[in-house]
Structure 1
Amino acid sequence: MMDVKRRYVIPGDVIATGPLRPEQNVFQDGDRMISTCVGISEIFENSVKVIPLTGGYMPKANDLVIGKVIGTSPLSWEFDINSCFVGFLPAQDVFGRDYSPTKDELRQRLDIGDLVAVRIANFDRSRDPLLTVQDRDLGKIDSGELIEISPSKVPRLIGKRGSMIQTIEMATKAIITIGQNGWIVISCEDSEGLLKAVEAVKMIDALAHTPNLTERVKSMLGVVDGENNDTIND
């Protein structure tokens, strides 16, 4: 396994100097790589990044998120997307071009409190994000348990090339829908599998900044396969 150097940092800390490439949560000042957040710095090959320990969700175009319907207007649904911004899903996105505010009732399709897998269709900071369900595997979520984790821990839950989430799903037979906004829905016909999947997700949220997390999760799930330990952003 390649050597990865890491340590706790706060905004303004100089992580390293030299011919390195600044990535996530790092800016370059001359030859100095400086942290912009509280987290764990990671120097890997020729790049430097900081994995934040906390942080709210900032919408980004094309992100898949899980939203909760909190209201309606004549032309759209309003969504809580675990952000300081409210998401809007146009009625035409669900009903089609023939949607008529006088004939069609929005709450017959999506009601207050419904959870929906949506994608951020468009967003800039001058207005709230526009949502869409016009994509594969999007739409109303009919069953499952909602778990909330820090949005900054979502990459850790997914793992490199989906390795972590695949490990959990295979070990528990659960279906896990991951929103980039930190809302996770877990469905499983087996109650024990559901409990284990929930425990694994919560473990990752609590221990995402620690090394060897994949091995800890596998041990908790009873998975033994002799794979190499992971890195912090595995």
Structure 2
Amino acid sequence: MSQNKFVIPGDVIITGSYTPEQNVILDGDKIMSTAIGFYEIEDNRVNVIPLTGLYTPKIDDLIIGKVMSHSALSWDVDINSYYTGMLQASDIFGRDYSPSKDDLSLKLCVGDIISTRIINAGGSRGPLLSISGQNLGKIDSGELVKISPTKIPRLIGKHGSMIQTIESSTNVTITIGQNGLIVLKCDDSAGLKKAVESIKMMDKALHNTNLEEKIQNILDEKN
């Protein structure tokens, strides 16, 4: 069962044996909204998709960020959040990093886009980032698209179904940041255009009514 209805904080969405997930709370046997948006019920799981919102950092999330500045010891990274991410110099240079010998700007410059992972979300200076790992680091090419972070689960789809459909239909390689930033790479401009259009439509849609059909129509269009 999948349902959609506009709710505000405090609204009772449903009563009974359901699993509360994002932006809802359980009060006795009632599941109540904690955000303004549309609720969804699927496989007995209840979520509210907020209409707007910045990214809330979570440990181990893969995100995409933009280098804003750097000090002698770290880079400050815009992660589309209330907080600024921090990437320590030692994450790239290693334990032997020396501010007097190593130049941070030789590795990452202001404006560079990076794929990174959150390793600590509760630091006093903001979330701690790392680019140590497979497919992490500076992104040298691709088109950057920004959507609401709350729409990322919808873009991925159940068991990755939606994003797989877009990739297979367009031959576009898509890197999704949980913070709402997405990088698309493709040599075919027509395929890239379809993928971008599909993602932007998903971001604008207020609920899931006929969304898959609308996306499929975009993907099926002739070049």
Go from structure 1 to structure 2 and tell me whether the alpha carbon gap of 1:11 and 1:185 turns closer, same or farther (over 3 Å shift). same
Counterpart amino acid of 1:184?
Answer: I
Deviates more, 1:34-43 or 1:115-124: 34-43
Alignment of 1:219 onto 2:217: yes
Match of 1:62 among 57, 60, 63: 60
Cα shift at 1:4: 2.4
Tell me which residue corresponds to 1:179: 177
- Cα deviation for residue 43 of structure 1 reads 2.8
User: 2-side partners of 1:13 and 1:38: how far apart?
Assistant: 10
- 1:9 maps to 7
Aligned twin of 2:142: 144
Report how far residue 126 of structure 1 moved: 4.2
Instruction: Give TM-score, length-normalised by structure 2.
Output: 0.93
Please tell me the residue identity of whatever aligns with 1:170: S
Counting aligned pairs with the same residue, the percent is: 57
The answer to whether the Cα contact below 8 Å between 2:35 and 2:50 also exists between their aligned partners in 1 is yes
Q: Which piece of structure 1 moves more, 9-18 or 84-93?
A: 9-18
SS in 2 for 1:116: strand
**1:1-234 matches, cutoff 5 A:** 3-124=1-122, 126-207=124-205, 209-222=207-220
CA drift at 1:101: 1.0
Deviations 1:46-66 (A, max 9, x none): 432212222110111000110
Does the Cα contact within 8 Å between 2:60 and 2:117 map onto a contact in 1? yes
- Once the two structures are TM-superposed, the CA of residue 71 in structure 1 deviates from its matched residue by 0.5
Residue in 2 that maps onto 1:226: none
Contact kept? 2:64, 2:179, Cα under 8 Å: yes
Q: Which runs of 5 or more structure 1 residues have no equivalent in the other structure?
A: 224-234
| Deviations 1:139-191 (CA, angstroms, capped at 9, x unpaired) | 00000111110000011111111111111111111111111110111111111
Tell me, in whole angstroms, the C-alpha distance in 2 between the residues paired with 1:109 and 1:138. 14
Could you tell me which runs of 5 or more consecutive residues in structure 2 were left unpaired when the two chains were aligned.
Answer: none
Q: Secondary structure at the match of 2:127?
A: strand
Residue identity in the other structure for 1:107? S
Which whole-Å CA distance do the structure 2 matches of 1:186 and 1:163 have between them?
17
Deviation at 1:127, TM superposition (A): 3.9
CA contact (8 A) 2:38 2:206 kept: no
1:204 maps to a residue whose letter is M
Indicate the RMSD between aligned Cα atoms, in angstroms.
1.6
